Amino acid sequence: MEVIHDNVKFDDQLEAAYVGYQNRGRSIEELVLGDATYERRFKMPKWNGPVTMLQEPKVAIRHNQVLGISTSKNANRQRAEYFTNLYHEIGRTYTDLANLALETYGNDGPQVSGIIRSHFPRDIKDRLRFLSAAKNATGDAARLHEYLAKTRSPLFR
């Protein structure tokens, strides 16, 4: 485990995702969620532009065969539980790092969404930004799979 500070640690998987995000410019969906299909975009009725299944869960139902989403409600329940746990783990890491940065560098200066304060060092801001985006993506994935586990579509059993 890489130690950011004595009290805040990224686990190995999260650290690998962060390094891939920083060095290779790969997407959060691919690195944290483990599948690039979450970022595929499709045209949907009542949307002005193409959307992903994380934005609109009905994309997963309509384009199920193209995306290769499991049609098992039980499998989607398990994925929802996995992403919910990951969401909480990333949230705890984000909160710990933010609290540590506030204690170390102070609570003054302009507030910035996701990175808390603009005067934090660049590496802290980069990690906070990554954790914020990862938390949003895992929350969206959990909601998607909860929706698919409860859908009344005849494709899903």
Tens digits of per-residue pLDDT, 90-120? 999 999 999 988 988 888 878 888 888 888 8
To the nearest whole number, what is the mean pLDDT of the chain? 86
The predicted model gives 19-30 an average pLDDT of 84
The predicted model gives 59-85 an average pLDDT of 89
Give exposure, 26-49, as e/b (b: 16+ Cβ within 10 Å). ebbbbbbbeeebbebebebeeeee
Name the phi and psi angles at 85, rounded to 5.
Answer: -65, -40
State yes or no: pLDDT of 24 exceeds 60. Answer: yes
Instruction: Give the H or E element holding residue 130.
Output: helix 122-150
The predicted model gives 13-33 an average pLDDT of 85
- 69 token code pair: 């989403």
- Which of 54-68, 79-93, 124-138 is the least confident region? 54-68
Instruction: Give the H or E element holding residue 124.
Output: helix 122-150
pLDDT at 55: 92
Name the phi and psi angles at 9, rounded to 5.
Answer: -130, 145
Contact of 70 with 125, CB cutoff 8 Å: no
- From the CA atom positions of the chain, what is the Rg in Å? 18
Question: Whole-prediction pTM value?
Answer: 0.86
**Which residues are within 8 A (CB) of 47 and not within 5 positions of it... i.e. 6 or more apart?**
56
Of 80 and 6, which is predicted with more confidence?
80
Tell me the percentage of the chain whose pLDDT exceeds 90: 34
**Distance between terminal CA atoms of the chain?**
40
Confidence of residue 144 (pLDDT cuts 50, 70, 90): very high
Q: How far apart are CA 91 and CA 32, in angstroms?
A: 13
The predicted model gives 80-91 an average pLDDT of 95
For 48-112, where are the alpha helices, taking DSSP H only? 58-62, 64-67, 73-105
